[in-house]
Chain A
Amino acid sequence: MKRLLMLLILIGLLTLPVSAMEFTAPDAPEDVQELMPAETESFAEGLLTVIKAAIARFAPELKHAAGSCLALLAIVLLASLFNSMPGNNTRIIRFVTTLALTLLLLGNANSMINLCTQTVQAISDYSKLLLPVMTGALAAQGGMTSATAIYAGTALFNTVLTSLIAKLLVPLVYVFLALSAANSAAGEQILMKMRDFVKWLMTWGLKTILYIFTGYMSITGVITGTADAAAVKAAKLTISGVIPVVGGILSDASETVIVSAGVMKNAVGLYGLLAIVAIWITPFLQIGTQFLLLKLTAVLCSVLGVKNATDLIEDFSGAMGILLGMIGAVSFLMLISMICFMKGMG
């Protein structure tokens, strides 16, 4: 009677609807959706689509950036007329030149700084949606320890880096630009030293965080990966050993579930990687173009022999480089994290 009752309960359980766990990547932000490929089978193909769309979107910005550089060249050309004359009036002309150049450069630099801040925030916001999904997917694949460690590390470093950029590095960029302009107008050694120190501080801060993050990821990858692999192997052995008759079949079936979870995780990861690249690529191209064009303008200005103007333009180009470093650091952090999640259990 007891056996019959158990059999009936088990048969009843079979009639219950069941569903597999599903992981879907959060949608990319609205403004970059048009850059995302409709469907892609490989990362390289998707990346190419994103890059092509970003370049097409960015083309009008290039004209504006080139125009600004021509305007800078016009001012420096004018300043070079007075450069050969000795005397006290050189200082005042130097002051006016710096004033005009700063006005032109600061407007553009401010737009680029705002763009950088928005991009960092957008990547950070998207990562807050993507990381829990990737953590769940990796945990479903059996990488419980790896998922927790990678999530904790990425979330921590992402928060620290985003706060550092918003609250310290961006104001420091403005300080750097102000010191550069003051140095160009006055030509004081102390201002130059202070400017160099601020630049060093910003690059050192970014580099240090990335070094620590990469180190953390490498160490946790080795330790937790091994622990998870051992745990999964032990679980399979237990299932096949403890459950009589069907233990081996169940163990093999669990392998299939793990592989399926892995496929799902990689699909989410691939979408996440492309979404991060899509958020990052347009601002990177914009700031990168400004950086290169300002470098080119500085080279052309150096031919005209106006040293203070050349230095000022080079400093603004350096600031663009730091902005590139900022968005590059946040994207690098997220991309490395995604790759660690995808690699997770192999």
Chain B
Amino acid sequence: MERFFQAAAGAMAAVVMWIVLSRQGKEYGMLLSLGACCFILICGLRFLEPVVELLEQLKTLGNLQAEWLSVMLKATGIGLIAELGSMICTDAGNGALGKTLQFMGTAAVLWLSIPLINSLLALLEQILGEI
């Protein structure tokens, strides 16, 4: 929990510093915001380590295909990064770049999910053959 409070305090301090630095120049505030986001994200990832271990346990117990879990993990990661990047771009006043990043994230997740779609299609084909 200590790390969470550190991250929360860091976020508060970063906001105050962002207000001060933004008066000096927008780019300083932007850099600070980016740094603070990375710091909080790293803190958050440390929290996720036991969650990933739990997922691994569930995967083993449930005989879940490693490929499916890997796709889901990658999709979640891509989604989070794309979303965060898009917000930072929007905050910096470049909405178009933010939207493009979101589109990129969507395309990447779709590309990742192709094996899942193929598996589903194969299953559907098998079911339709049985009916």
Contact = CB atoms under 8 A, between A and B. Distances in A.
A230 interface: no
Contact of A97 (B62, B72, B117): B72
Contacts of A96: 71-72, 75, 109, 112-113, 116
A77 B59 CA distance: 12
A75 B70 CA distance: 10
Chain B interface size band reads 35 or more
B64 A114 contact: no
B16 interface: no
A212 B64 CA distance: 45
A88 B48 contact: no
A78 B64 contact: no
A319 to B, nearest CB: 13
Interface residues of A, number: 38
A100 interface: yes
Nearest to B58: A74
Given A99-B116, A103-B68, A82 B80 contact: yes
Contact of B59 (A74, A82, A91, A110): A74
A250 B54 CA distance: 81
Interface string A260-277: 000000000000000000
B19 interface: no
A235 B51 CA distance: 81
B76 A74 contact: no
Given A77-B51, A106-B123, A70 B79 contact: no
B82 A89 contact: yes
A100 B116 contact: yes
A74 B110 contact: no
A67 interface: yes
Nearest to A72: B62
A92 B109 contact: yes
B54 to A, nearest CB: 7
B33 interface: no
B38 interface: no
Interface string B14-50: 0000000000000000000000000000000000100
A174 B51 CA distance: 34
A112 to B, nearest CB: 12
A99 B120 contact: yes
Contact of A114 (B79, B113, B130): B130
B61 to A, nearest CB: 5
A69 B62 CA distance: 7
B63 A71 contact: yes
Given A70-B62, A75-B72, A171 B55 contact: no
A89 B58 contact: no
A89 B63 contact: no
Given A88-B106, A89-B79, A106 B127 contact: yes
Residue of A68, A71, A104 with highest tally of chain B CB at under 10 A: A71
Interface string B93-123: 0000000001001100110110011011001
A82 B71 CA distance: 14
